[in-house]
Amino acid sequence: MLFRVSSWIALLPITVPVKSIHMRSVIKRNVGNSTSLVLLTLFCLLGGSCARTQPKPRIDPAAYAKEIDAWHQERWSSLKSDGGWLTLIGLFWLKEGENKLGSDSVNDIVLPAGKIGKQSAIFLLKSNVVQFEAPPKSGFTVEGKPATHLELKPDVDGTPTVLHLGSLTFQIIKRGDKFGLRVKDSENPDRLNFQNTQFFPADLKWRIDAHFEAYTPPKPVPITNVLGMESGEVSPGAVVFEVDGQTYRLDAITEKGESKYFMIIADKTSGKETYPAGRYLYVDPPGSSGQMVIDLNKAYSPPCAFTKFATCPLPPRQNRLPFPIQAGEKYNGHAK
């Protein structure tokens, strides 16, 4: 057995940096001794001195710059899409009972006359359920089919019911115990006249190797939005990383139907070069080793940077960083 073990050890392509004076003397006295080789190998394995450090893969700056540029293009395309945040023209909180929609000022929800009739539909809120009612041939559709009477699913259920009327869309959102009607218009001038956003130059300094420290069980994280409403989110763990030799932690959040982790952050650029209320960031979950990457070049402004009708969540206290992150999307006063 000893012969087989020592023969296997002899085949290992390991360079042994022996630091101990005692161990060097043992080697000199026992050259060719199989037992000493076994002991030496065990010593190295237990002490870690035989481990090889894998070099960090080198990232090509040019290829990375192209990756970030492609991400910029995707960001702009999302903002300018038919259902993007630049199309949002109204948010109306529903009262219990009937909420009438139309262009006449007597309605509860008033929209421009060129977009809708004087009294076009009713949103009935009763016992936390929103029903939609409209006369026949009103023009409202859901998934291409005429809609005159149906229950509207809010956004908390994953995919809300979306009503269409010409260039307008309507959907129900739920925040806390309140229900609101979100109205979008694909012909909104904010969308048609949008001139894109600006970004800091891509910098590999802000593509940071990190590791994940899981919370067992996942930690409740209360999140307050811009309207002062609080929601109970869940954090699976903290993303831990270093900047200039200092260690920092950011709580990640899991979202329904989203495989990536979501983070709401603020830093010393907030309110100066970036949006005052902070920025958002998605990161890929860690691998089996717990290692991951946080790429702050992909931090972006929340919807509130582009419309006053959004309900953006704000960074929790533990996600407010004490240094400037000159990476990601800048803010130039887009919201009106």
Q: Where are the alpha helices (DSSP H) in the chain?
A: 2-11, 21-29, 34-47, 61-79, 189-192
Closest listed residue to residue 315, CA positions, set 283, 289, 280: 280
Cα–Cα distance, 255 to 236 (Å, whole number): 11
Going by pLDDT thresholds of 50, 70 and 90, the confidence category of residue 12 is very low
pLDDT digits (tens, 9 = 90+) for 239-294: 999 999 999 999 999 998 899 999 999 999 999 999 999 999 999 999 999 999 99
Cα–Cα distance, 121 to 132 (Å, whole number): 7
Do 187 and 168 touch, CB atoms closer than 8 A?
Answer: no
User: Could you give phi then psi for residue 35, rounded to 5 degrees?
Assistant: -60, -40
Question: pTM for the whole thing?
Answer: 0.80
* Residues forming a β-bridge with 97: 125
* Range(s) within the chain of domains with CATH label 2.60.200.20: 85-192
Question: In whole angstroms, what separates CA 270 from the centre of its chain?
Answer: 18
The pLDDT assigned to 317 comes to 96
Q: Is the dihedral of CA 305, 299, 319, 176 positive or negative?
A: positive
* Residues forming a β-bridge with 131: 124, 151
85-192 — its CATH code? 2.60.200.20
Average pLDDT of the residues of the chain: 87
pLDDT digits (tens, 9 = 90+) for 101-153: 999 999 999 999 999 999 999 999 999 999 999 999 999 999 999 999 999 99
Going by pLDDT thresholds of 50, 70 and 90, the confidence category of residue 33 is very low
Per DSSP, the residues of 146-201 read E-SEEEEPPGGGSS---EEETTEEEEEEEETTEEEEEEEETT-HHHHT-----BPP
The pLDDT assigned to 51 comes to 43
